[in-house]
Amino acid sequence: SAVISQKPSRDICQRGTSLTIQCQVDSQVTMMFWYRQQPGQSLTLIATANQGSEATYESGFVIDKFPISRPNLTFSTLTVSNMSPEDSSIYLCSAGDRRSGNTIYFGEGSWLTVV
Amino acid sequence: GESVGLHLPTLSVQEGDNSIINCAYSNSASDYFIWYKQESGKGPQFIIDIRSNMDKRQGQRVTVLLNKTVKHLSLQIAATQPGDSAVYFCAEMNFGNEKLTFGTGTRLTIIP
């Protein structure tokens, strides 16, 4: 199984600022994704992080608000831009490898509170 | 206003009893299903998975059943323990796009 580390694990952010979350996987993976989980709710896919190319965003999420990078097969970043209190949420990085069965593993999440 | 955290279905089970958590999925073309456990303050933890060409799969104390006819998935946990208290999510994937879609989740509480 893949071990996924996220930084920061928790932060309190000022309205209007941006924050970049880092995700490091302990092995090369073909798939990386970013999810959002609002308090007490299920997980919603933000985007698929594509290695070496632009991320693929889900309906309701746009690159200007959530720019994503994936420079290689083990690392990705998600930036939450121009934050508002509505962006207070858990942001989760996930990864999997289709060469070993498509199982998707998750990091522990980055808990953001916007004040 | 509405309180968050109260929309999840809940299930309370006596310690030592078996529990069954149900999930209705949406896409008849889904190829792969995963159950996750999420404890408070943590990310989702993989429990067990099943492919669409199977109808049952067993792990340690857990069994997943898949009924494709009615698009239903269940997770059975045998001999529940206090550490089983968590929110459980089912998730489905189509191998064509490899995106994992999550269900609403069920909060399981084990009563000592």
Kindly calculate the radius of gyration of chain A based on its CA atoms and give it in whole angstroms.
13
Q: Pick from B89, B98, B104: which is nearest to A102 by CB?
A: B98
The answer to whether B67 contacts chain A (CB < 8 Å) is no
pLDDT classification of B77: cutoffs 50, 70, 90: very high
Categorize the per-residue pLDDT at B26 as very low, low, confident or very high, splitting at 50, 70 and 90: confident
Q: Is the Cβ pair B4, A40 closer than 8 Å? A: yes
- The reported pLDDT for the residue numbered B38 is 97
- Min Cα separation B80/chain A (Å): 23
pLDDT at B7: 60
CA A95 to chain centre: 10
Cross-chain residue pair A106–B45, CB shorter than 8 Å: yes
Calculate mean pLDDT across residues B43-67: 96
With b for 16 or more beta-carbon neighbours within 10 A and e for fewer, the A10-27 pattern comes to eeebeeeeebebbbbbee
- CA nearest A73: which of A24, A35, A39? A24
- Chain B residues touching A40 at Cβ < 8 A: 4-8
User: Could you tell me the two tokens for B93?
Assistant: 């994937």
Tally: H helices and E strands in chain A: 0, 11
Instruction: State the pLDDT at residue A18.
Output: 98
Q: Is the CB of B52 inside 8 Å of chain A's CB atoms?
A: no
Q: Which of A41, A43, A59 has the highest number of chain B CBs within 10 A, making it the mutation to test binding with B?
A: A43
Distance (Å) from the alpha carbon of A81 to chain B's nearest alpha carbon: 23
* 8 Å CB contact between B46 and B36: yes
Going by C-alpha positions, the residue among A99, A105, A113, A110 that lies closest to residue A7 is A110
Give me the pLDDT at residue A100, please: 80
